[in-house]
Chain A
């Protein structure tokens, strides 16, 4: 009997939530629109930030440092050097290019000049190590270390201009991106919370009446929390749809315009973003309602 009564109450609370959403349709629509716009802005920003991150990564993935090996360097020491470099945590990859490989590469990439090699008959190319960093910050220190080994290393080439700029850009982008995400997230939360608070404020009298005639906190709060969750879900759903459609439309165009930008149009990222947005929407909606109602319950 008690469970029956509880079930009836739960059914009533859910019904009441939808009833009041319908009754306060304008407020409901306003709240959904606000949530959805805020989340679209936030998602777009996350996407742009992600693209920037990937761009920096992609630039970093190119060879950052080339160390030319002395022709008379003992092969065992060269092997040891390769191992030492590749075991560094900030190094992504070390590729050893032998003298023959270097010559072949030259023939391939600059085939019209290949005759030169035939003419001079000896191989003028030194062997080299091509180093790709996972963290560009370690690049300059690594170059300095290699220069201290003149027996093995003849010369170190660092793409200093690119690297320096990359370092600055990546630091700035990470820092700026972090700050922007946090502040935009805070603004999003603030606006959504306020929207909910206003909606609850307009119904404070109703809350007071329910309380005065003996409703428990959950009986009063339940419909508001469900309503908040549903509004958050719909708002986030609309934002997800907008983001998914936006990506599908804009992504390819952007990619063809600026081909070097690794714009993220993969389904994985968009799906994750949509799921994350839905989660945030439901969470903000329900938690926001919970706290907004609490103010009136405790007076």
Chain B
């Protein structure tokens, strides 16, 4: 469960990127975070992953106030949250399998089952044949699937995706979205920031709409514009 309580985030003296945001995302939810560029979607996601600190307010992940975490407690939080980025953030010098394996090593779970778990994750995203390729040898959609496999392999309770379809053509975008739906079906909470109108409108899930740093709408089964 993610609880955001009265969070403000400002950069410098201008209008705040987030102005008094409060929201709750329950376990197993599938939530779209929509809004134009600059509405505050990415900022909110970065705050939840503790990539940035809120100016004021609190954020709870699984009952833990993450704004109070010490530096050495951050890795544990990030292992609970699988993050998928618009620019994939794959290790360029590691193969597809190694990239996925890396996530397992980080959580210290790369034991004798490790290889098998990597293979399963790659199979889920349909990348078994590309296991030994390097990221630069893959298309954007394939790279995004590697990122998803990396996220799946550690079985995090929460998956956050920041514009996962932003760099993909519509068909590959759909594939990615279907994968996220399947991940959600296994009990994982999924939060997706996007401005992909078509996807949101078709899927009819919970939609939280941000505008200029404020929540203007929070609707279950909504479309992009309501």
Q: Do A and B come from one complex?
A: yes
Q: Does A23 contact B (CB under 8 A)?
A: yes
A209-B89, A213-B150, A216-B75 given; A5·B106 CB < 8 A: no
Q: Which of A111-163 contact B (CB under 8 A)?
A: none
- Chain A interface residues (CB < 8 Å from chain B): 4-6, 8-9, 12, 20, 23, 205-206, 208-210, 212-217, 219
CA distance A206 to B89 in the complex (A): 8
B91 touches A209 (CB 8 A): yes
Residues of B with C-beta under 8 A to A214: 75-79, 103, 106-107
Chain A proximity mask over B97-109: 1 for CB below 8 Å, otherwise 0: 0000011011111
Q: Does B14 contact A (CB under 8 A)?
A: no
Identify which of A6, A205, A212 contacts B83 (C-beta below 8 A).
A212
Identify which of A20, A205, A208, A213 contacts B78 (C-beta below 8 A).
A213
A8 touches B106 (CB 8 A): no
B91 touches A206 (CB 8 A): yes
Residues of B with C-beta under 8 A to A216: 72, 75, 106
Q: Which of B37-74 contact A (CB under 8 A)?
A: 49, 51, 71-72
- Chain B interface residues (CB < 8 Å from chain A): 49, 51, 71-72, 75-79, 82-83, 85, 89-93, 102-103, 105-111, 150
Minimum distance in angstroms from B73 CB to a CB of chain A: 10
CA distance A205 to B82 in the complex (A): 18
CA distance A209 to B87 in the complex (A): 11
CA distance A23 to B92 in the complex (A): 11
B110 touches A213 (CB 8 A): no
B110 touches A8 (CB 8 A): yes
Identify which of A6, A20, A212, A215 contacts B51 (C-beta below 8 A).
A212
